[in-house]
Amino acid sequence: MRTTQAQRRFSSGLAAVSGLLVSCHSAFAAGIGQPEPWQMGRQVGVTENARDIHSFEVGLHWLSLVISVFVLGLILWCIFRFNEKTNPTPSKTTHNTMIEVAWTIVPVLILVAVAIPSFRLLRTQLADPKADVIVKVIGHAWYWSYEYPQTDKGGGFTFDANLDESKEPKLLATDNEMVVPVNKVVKVQVTSADVIHSWGMPSLGFTTDAVPGRLNQTWFKADREGTYHGQCRELCGTRHAYMPITVRVVSEEAYAQWLAEGKTKFARLDDGSKLADAR
Ligand SMILES: [Cu+2]
């Protein structure tokens, strides 16, 4: 009787653990454009930059794991090999030039090895490629507005994007969405109308502060169509948690159609309204 109960407990425990592992695994696989329950990794990147950030991070985790295991090994070795019982007569050594040089130079080399890919990533992020589309993003307490400047392809309108609680995903969907074409360089100019906000898009691989009186610029080139969600990433007030971002990446034809519709659907930009000069 006892054994049966113990067996039952064991198998239900096993089922719980395997359920957990399955959900963790699915969490690793999912996460396109939005966070998933039990997600542990980053959201799937849809720009080269986002994927590079992810693999750099994974590399750093492995590196820290190796270093941690090495240091833990050294500590355990000292505890068990050089305690009073196993090593009653301690060595009188106070210096060892070789070891001292090694423990200075090896960490420096590790840091340099980390700095190289890190700087390469920064350089890509700060690059200024020729823009196919320019969008001005303005943070407000507590929503975002988007301006599409007039170009020969269309545009010349502005609209607000507010949280839409009737839509899924919960607290991430907005009534209007920023729409951009796939495989095109989109330059985003970010500013704020009141307090500091931050335009954070995990799957596009960047976060840009929206500072009143300043224009921050970033860029992305999404290579996968879809709807991607982000949030304000600068604590900006009581409704900070309720100013999500939705970016829809569509085909070039769908984008052209959306631009044409936007002309009548959204507010026209004044003729006098000008965006900062971007190449
Ligand atoms: Cu905010």
In the reported structure, the alpha carbon of residue 233 is separated from the centroid of ligand 1 by a whole-number distance in angstroms of 6
> Tokens standing for 96?
């060892």
In the reported structure, the alpha carbon of residue 220 is separated from the centroid of ligand 1 by a whole-number distance in angstroms of 21
In the reported structure, the alpha carbon of residue 197 is separated from the centroid of ligand 1 by a whole-number distance in angstroms of 4
In the reported structure, the alpha carbon of residue 212 is separated from the centroid of ligand 1 by a whole-number distance in angstroms of 12
In the reported structure, the alpha carbon of residue 181 is separated from the centroid of ligand 1 by a whole-number distance in angstroms of 26
Q: Convert the pLDDT of each residue in 121-132 to its tens digit.
A: 999 988 999 999
In the reported structure, the alpha carbon of residue 253 is separated from the centroid of ligand 1 by a whole-number distance in angstroms of 33
Q: Which residues of the chain register pLDDT less than 70? A: 1-31, 270-279
In the reported structure, the alpha carbon of residue 124 is separated from the centroid of ligand 1 by a whole-number distance in angstroms of 26
Say how far apart CA 221 and CA 204 lie, in whole Å. 8
Please tell me the predicted confidence (pLDDT) of residue 246. Answer: 96
Q: Which amino acid type is present at position 65?
A: L
In the reported structure, the alpha carbon of residue 245 is separated from the centroid of ligand 1 by a whole-number distance in angstroms of 11
Helix orientation angle between 97-125 and 48-81, rounded to the nearest 10 degrees: 160
In the reported structure, the alpha carbon of residue 230 is separated from the centroid of ligand 1 by a whole-number distance in angstroms of 11
Secondary structure (H, E, C), the chain: CHHHHHHHHHHHHHHHHHHHHHHHHHHHHCCCCCCCCCCCCCCCCCCHHHHHHHHHHHHHHHHHHHHHHHHHHHHHHHHHHCCCCCCCCCCCCCCCHHHHHHHHHHHHHHHHHHHHHHHHHHHHHCCCCCCCEEEEEEEECCEEEEEECCECCECCEEEEECECCCCCCCCCCECCCEEEECCCCEEEEEEECCCCEEEEEHHHCEEEEECECCCEEEEECCCCCEEEEEEECCCCCCCHHHCCEEEEEECHHHHHHHHHHHHHHCEECCCCCCCCCCC
In the reported structure, the alpha carbon of residue 158 is separated from the centroid of ligand 1 by a whole-number distance in angstroms of 20
In the reported structure, the alpha carbon of residue 2 is separated from the centroid of ligand 1 by a whole-number distance in angstroms of 57
Residue ranges of domains in the chain: 48-89+96-125, 133-268
Please tell me the predicted confidence (pLDDT) of residue 23. Answer: 43
In the reported structure, the alpha carbon of residue 211 is separated from the centroid of ligand 1 by a whole-number distance in angstroms of 11
Please tell me the predicted confidence (pLDDT) of residue 22. Answer: 42
pTM, entire model: 0.77
In the reported structure, the alpha carbon of residue 166 is separated from the centroid of ligand 1 by a whole-number distance in angstroms of 21
In the reported structure, the alpha carbon of residue 199 is separated from the centroid of ligand 1 by a whole-number distance in angstroms of 8
The CATH code for residues 133-268 is: 2.60.40.420
In the reported structure, the alpha carbon of residue 237 is separated from the centroid of ligand 1 by a whole-number distance in angstroms of 7
Exposed, middle or buried by CB within 10 Å (0-12, 13-18, 19+), for 125?
Answer: middle
Q: Are 170 and 37 in contact (CB under 8 A)?
A: no
In the reported structure, the alpha carbon of residue 80 is separated from the centroid of ligand 1 by a whole-number distance in angstroms of 53
In the reported structure, the alpha carbon of residue 243 is separated from the centroid of ligand 1 by a whole-number distance in angstroms of 7
In the reported structure, the alpha carbon of residue 215 is separated from the centroid of ligand 1 by a whole-number distance in angstroms of 16
Q: CB atoms < 10 A from the CB of 172, how many?
A: 20
Q: Are 114 and 105 in contact (CB under 8 A)?
A: no
Say how far apart CA 229 and CA 34 lie, in whole Å. 6
In the reported structure, the alpha carbon of residue 227 is separated from the centroid of ligand 1 by a whole-number distance in angstroms of 21
